[in-house]
Amino acid sequence: MTDEKYFEEMEARIPHGQVRTRFAPSPTGYMHVGNLRTALYTYLIARHSDGVFILRIEDTDQNRQVEGAEEVIYRTLEECGLKHDEGPDVGGPVAPYVQTERRGTYKKYAKMLVERGHAYYCFCDKTESEEDSGEFERADCPCRSMNREEALRRAENEPYVIRQLVPHEGTTTFHDASFGDITVPNDSLDDQVLLKRDGLPTYNFANVIDDHLMGITHVVRGSEYLASAPKYNLLYEGFGWEIPEYVHCSPVMRDQQHKMSKRHGDPSYEDLRKEGYLTEAILNYVALLGWSPKGELAETEFFTLGELSEAFDISGISKSPAIFDIEKLKYFNAHYIRSMTPEQFAEAAEPYIRQAVGNEAYSAAKIAALLQNRCEKLTDIPEKLDFFDELPEYDTELYTNKKSKTNAEISLNVLEQALPRLTALESWDEESIKSMFTDFAGELGCKNATVMWPVRIAVSGRLVTPGGVVEICDILGKEETLRRVELGIDKLRG
């Protein structure tokens, strides 16, 4: 096929007439919070307009390849419900969606750009970093003005890169949805490498080719790419292609000065999950890191993914950097924990409950019910349950409590009288246990707390417990409760 025909066919494949966005991660093995936010905004822009959300894997930087990295991307998108309509795994009209599989395409388009006078072959021996960064004195480069026949002849048997031919004069302006119009003098732009010696494109070239050939209407990405946007525009213009809408998102910061970074131990999406945060809470919080709803929804904090798809609009994206605040995330997480049904919570909590409570006789569902209103994240769970499997050592001072009007002597008396009452209970459930305590307090003519406090200490050995004495006795079962109450009596008798 002639190149001419190839280009025509590629053009013919491009879908038109719909919003098309793409999330284009490099497989680094790690989805940082900023990346997740980019994925989310990209998804929301597509969904908001009934458009198409595409996943493209940008793997042309072979030095950065990490084993299993693509898995992290697929898993994260799936867990978060950011379902892509086109991508390497699901295919689509403009496949392939992995850049290394598009290698032949970039070379053809790079050569096309040379023919159109917007790029040139460069045979200079540059160090790799010069090549990657484009930082070298282009005025000195003899290849820039080499005539095309000579360049083509040398390219047949010499290694080369293809560079963008950026004009020295004039200015270039580009438009970004949040940053507005930005104009730069062309002499501040370098002749960046488009095609490397190994025949692979640089990111700077591949993104333009792919965004065009995939029919991308909105390019959503981190603001670190803002500085390169004028060069991308010059490429689009060089090809005579329509420039997509740019939506550059400001970084997510750890504090005023520092971006979040893996190297400094800032958590990735997967880290946050491991730390006990729910996906819904992470997504909701991340959505608001750099975007705010307007109008009627201006004060709304809690959004499901579906609600975000409805509410999201590009004009709500802020250009100032957002600071990641773990306390705020905890607040969102607590909200989502509280809003689960008891069954959903029990299911999510069970693995954490079982980290602390090995005894299967102790019902995870009942324990979960004690925790749902008492934890901000799932990892808070195990430490609250350390008294179930084994009664911890405790000090008899715990029996003294002003509010409950108890001290060691009163507690001993209560426990001694509670023991036969508990023993006599025929059915062991919350209701029977509770009425035993209230009847008991009624007979003694004291507050419920005066009888409940000592028993709770005796069965848990803890000053603070999730749930009260009734629930704890119910979960422990009759035999273990009686055993612990007897131990309490022994302890108090000294």
Q: Does 70 bind ligand GLU (CB under 6 A)?
A: no
Min CB(214)–ligand GLU separation in Å: 12
Catalytic residue among 262, 274, 294, 405: 262
Closer of 317 and 419 to ligand GLU (Cβ)? 317
Binding mask 216-235 for ligand GLU (x = CB under 6 A): -----x--------------
Q: Among this protein's residues, is 262 annotated catalytic?
A: yes
Min CB(90)–ligand GLU separation in Å: 19
Report the alpha-carbon angle 217-222-225, nearest 5: 85
Q: Are 119 and 238 spatial neighbours (Cβ–Cβ below 8 Å)?
A: yes
Q: Does 26 bind ligand GLU (CB under 6 A)?
A: yes
Scanning residues 110 to 129, which ones bind ligand GLU (CB under 6 A)? Answer: none
Q: Does 24 bind ligand GLU (CB under 6 A)?
A: yes
**Residue 27 CB neighbour total at 10 angstroms:** 20
Using the rule CB under 6 A, give the single segment among 20-28, 142-150, 402-410, 478-486 that binds ligand GLU: 20-28
Q: Does 178 bind ligand GLU (CB under 6 A)?
A: no
Min CB(332)–ligand GLU separation in Å: 26
Query: What is the full DSSP assignment across 358-405?
Result: --TTS-HHHHHHHHTTT-SSGGGHHHHTTTSSSPPP--GGGG-BTTTT
With H, G, I as helix, E, B as strand and everything else as coil, classify residue 337: helix
Closer of 249 and 398 to ligand GLU (Cβ)? 249
- CA 266 – CA 280 distance, rounded (Å): 20
Q: Does 60 bind ligand GLU (CB under 6 A)?
A: no
Closer of 207 and 481 to ligand GLU (Cβ)? 207
User: What are the tokens at 22?
Assistant: 């793409």
Q: Does 25 bind ligand GLU (CB under 6 A)?
A: yes
Query: What is the full DSSP assignment across 432-471?
Result: HHHHHHHHHHHHHTS-HHHHHHHHHHHHH--SS-SS-HHH
Using the rule CB under 6 A, give the single segment among 23-31, 70-78, 334-342, 352-360 that binds ligand GLU: 23-31
Q: CA of 18: how far to CAs of 50, 260, 265, in Å?
A: 8, 34, 40
What are 55's strand-pairing partners? 23
Q: Of how many residues is the chain composed?
A: 494
Q: Are 220 and 42 spatial neighbours (Cβ–Cβ below 8 Å)?
A: yes
Closer of 46 and 418 to ligand GLU (Cβ)? 46
With H, G, I as helix, E, B as strand and everything else as coil, classify residue 174: strand
Min CB(185)–ligand GLU separation in Å: 24
The one among 76, 105, 178, 207 contacting ligand GLU by CB under 6 A: 207
Binding site for ligand GLU (CB under 6 A): 24-26, 58, 203, 207, 221
Could you list the active site residues? Answer: 262
